[in-house]
Amino acid sequence: MDVVAPVAMVVPLTTALVLLVLVPLSRRRLVDVVAFAAALATVALTAVLLVRSGDHLVLHWFAGWLPRRGFPVGIDFAVDRIGAGLALLAALLTTAALATSWRYFDDVTPLYSVLVLVFLGAMVAFSYTGDLFNLFVFFELMSVPAYALAGYKVEEEGALQGALNFAVTNSVGAFCTLTGIAFLYGRTGTLSLAAIGRSLAGHHPDGLVIVAFVLVTTGFLVKAAVVPFHFWLADAHAVAPTPICVLFSGVMVGLGVYGVTRVYWTVFSDTITPPHLRGLLVAVGVVTAVIGAVMCLGQHHLKRLLAFSTISHTGIAIAGIGLLDRTSLAGAGIYVLGHGLVKASLFVVTAILVTRLGAFDERRLHGRGRDMRWTAAVWFIGCLGLAGLPPFATSLGKGLIDEGLDHHGWPWLATVLAGSAAATAASAFRAGGHVFLGWGRVEDDQPASAEGEEEQPEVAKDRPTAPVMFAVAALLLMGGLALGLAPRLGHHADVAAGHFVNRPAMAAAVLDGAPLPEPPPMPAAPTGSAERAGVATAAVALLAGGFALSPRRPTAEQLGWAGRIGRAAIEGLRRLHSGHIGDLLAFLTAGVAAFGVLALMAGR
């Protein structure tokens, strides 16, 4: 019985509680230090678990209620390598977000740190839990602080609206998940992921099981911001304090992807077998990647630009897990970690820009970042990471996903995904070229009201870059590079994914205490193609970004009919993103219905 896993959850939650009680007594500096120390301790604990969870499942049965003859009577944490990796990412990014917040806010209440720590504790527990209902509880526990943090700047109308949209859509998604959990409990009489999976295994999926799958995954897909559930994400990112965007984009969205994967492989994989769902999930991922990328191209508000890029990259990860095989899962896992670190670094650069220059719009920041050479370097290298240039971890992840696409007969989709990654990187390049180099012209042909919002800088501007913020941005970026350079990363991810997809062995490990068998070795993949694809994607992104900055860039009018169609398509797409809560829910409802119908057709 391992106690590190529950301690990793308890440390941030208890610290949050203590800070909450001590709030009237405490000074800001003290709260900052205690919260940061708790986050660092969580980093250490989750790192220990990542090491320990190598070839076995780290199990903790709460209050010592061990399973009796294979039937779970208690509630467990079952930590495998993939969950442990995500928990470590959550702890690292929370530490980074807290460090960024020191110099980001002039004035911040201790409640901010309390909310961040609760968020962290819930994310860690969500990654570790082996119980379906607790998955829902921790999902809600991580959602509520996230809603509150998104609306942290209550004095702004936009922040309130963004938080409201975020809270209502994610809550409805969570209710779908809970209904699905109720159905599964009604069918199997247990809430343990392993026991439900064992009970359903080998049966032909009937309507109830398929509907339960659709409902349970809906909540996680809303969190993962999959089209058409993605509308909340850009609003929440645009209004949340920038250090919080580090957590939203870097890890919270990735945890949505993890939720889908975890539930599919532990519960449904031996009843709704992979061939049934593969096409549907891959299509969802690819559509998300493309729509996110197209929306990203049209953004000028840096946080919205990065938010739509997150949607696009999450689409790539969803396509990876949607292939429902071991190699692609390993790739998607690496991709989520690699993208999380790089995106977090880019958000910290955005935080530096706003504390120094007081704006988020690349048109208003045009040329004003010329003297920020090192910050610019972090931004541009981060853009290369988004494009998947080796040795960034995103390159290896994308390469493994490409392999999966190739294996299942959709090699052309790899090009589509690379195209969306290139488009998001090109948008970020263009923004960086405007801000840091002063290249290109500020478009006057864009309707200024399209963004529909006034700039509201969060903090007093015109102060020098805080060294701690720059250090955090650089360290996160180096983390993304170091992960890609880690020796035998591909092998470790492959073994982790091999355990993850072996449902019977995982269930036996949880319920019977059996050791995990070594996954069969995979044939070594042909090397080099991933690197070549990454270099090509980055080159395309650089060219496209340079083209967008070029003074001779033709306007939409000069391109004739193609320009008009393109502009009409983008404008139409933007108009769908109305930000009206009723519209968001209508899309969500239609999306769930369509997902259900397609899954029923595919599953039968």
Partner 1 sequence: MSIVFFLVAGWLFLAGLYGIVTSRNLVHLVVCLSIVQASTYLTLLGIGYRTHGTVAVLVSIPPGAPFVDPIVASLTLTDVVVSATVTALLLALAVQIHKRTGSVDPDDIVDMRG
Q: Between residues 149 and 393, which has the closer beta carbon with respect to partner 1?
A: 149
Which of 24, 64, 155, 412 is the binder for partner 1 (CB under 8 A)? 155
Burial class (CB in 10 A: 0-12, 13-18, 19+), 83: buried
3-state helix, strand, coil in the chain (%, to 5): 75, 0, 25
Per CB under 8 A, the list member of 32, 80, 325, 453 interacting with partner 1 is 453
User: What are the residues whose beta carbons fall under 8 Å from the beta carbon of 131, sequence distance 6 or more?
Assistant: 75, 76, 191, 192, 193
Site string for partner 1, 95-124 (x = CB under 8 A): ------------------------------
Let me know: does 398 contact 417? Beta carbons within 8 Å.
yes
Chain-centre distance for alpha carbon 438: 31
Instruction: Determine, following the binding rule CB under 8 A, whether residue 329 of this chain makes contact with partner 1.
Output: no
- Asked whether position 525 contacts partner 1 by CB under 8 A, the answer is no
Q: Does 445 bind partner 1 (CB under 8 A)?
A: no
Q: What's the sign of the alpha-carbon dihedral 548, 545, 402, 327?
A: negative
In sequence order, what are the residues at sequence separation of 6 or more whose Cβ sits closer than 8 angstroms to the Cβ of residue 542? 426, 429
Beta-carbon contacts of 154 under 8 Å, excluding residues fewer than 6 positions away, are: 160
Take residue 460 and report the two structure tokens written for it. 């007093």
Q: How many residues bind partner 1 (CB under 8 A)?
A: 54
CB 533 within 8 A of CB 389: no
* 133 interacts with partner 1 by CB under 8 A: yes
Task: Choose the stretch contacting partner 1; rule: CB under 8 A; options: 61-69, 231-239, 406-414, 460-468.
Answer: 231-239
- Contact between 451 and partner 1 per CB under 8 A: yes
- Residue 95: CB minimum distance to partner 1, A: 26
Q: Which of residues 297-316 bind partner 1 (CB under 8 A)?
A: 298-299
Q: Which of 100, 165, 261, 327 binds partner 1 (CB under 8 A)?
A: 165
CB of 507 to partner 1, least distance (A): 20
Minimum distance of partner 1 from residue 593's CB (angstroms): 11
Q: In terms of Cα–Cα distance, which of 411, 400, 408 is closest to 330?
A: 400
- Closer Cβ to partner 1, 187 or 368, answer by number: 187
Which residue from 43, 128, 138 is spatially nearest to 81, judged by alpha carbons?
128
494 binds partner 1 (CB under 8 A): no
Binder to partner 1 among 78, 125, 172, 316 (CB under 8 A)?
A: 172
Three-state SS string across 400-453, please? HHHHHHHHCCCHHHHHHHHHHHHHHHHHHHHHHHHHHHCCCCCCCCCCHHHCCC
Site for partner 1 in 185-204 (CB under 8 A): 185-186, 191
Binding to partner 1, residues 527-586 (CB under 8 A): 573-575, 577-582, 585-586
- Judge if the upstream peptide bond of residue 243 is cis by omega within 30 degrees of 0: no
Is residue 169 classed as helix, strand or coil in its secondary structure?
helix
In the complex, minimum distance from the CB of residue 75 to partner 1, in angstroms, rounded to a whole number: 11
Examine residue 456 and tell whether it contacts partner 1 (CB under 8 A). no
Which residues in this chain contact partner 1 in the complex, by CB under 8 A? 133, 137, 140, 144, 147-148, 151, 154-158, 160-165, 167-168, 171-172, 174-175, 178-179, 182-183, 185-186, 191, 234-235, 238, 295, 298-299, 449-453, 573-575, 577-582, 585-586, 589
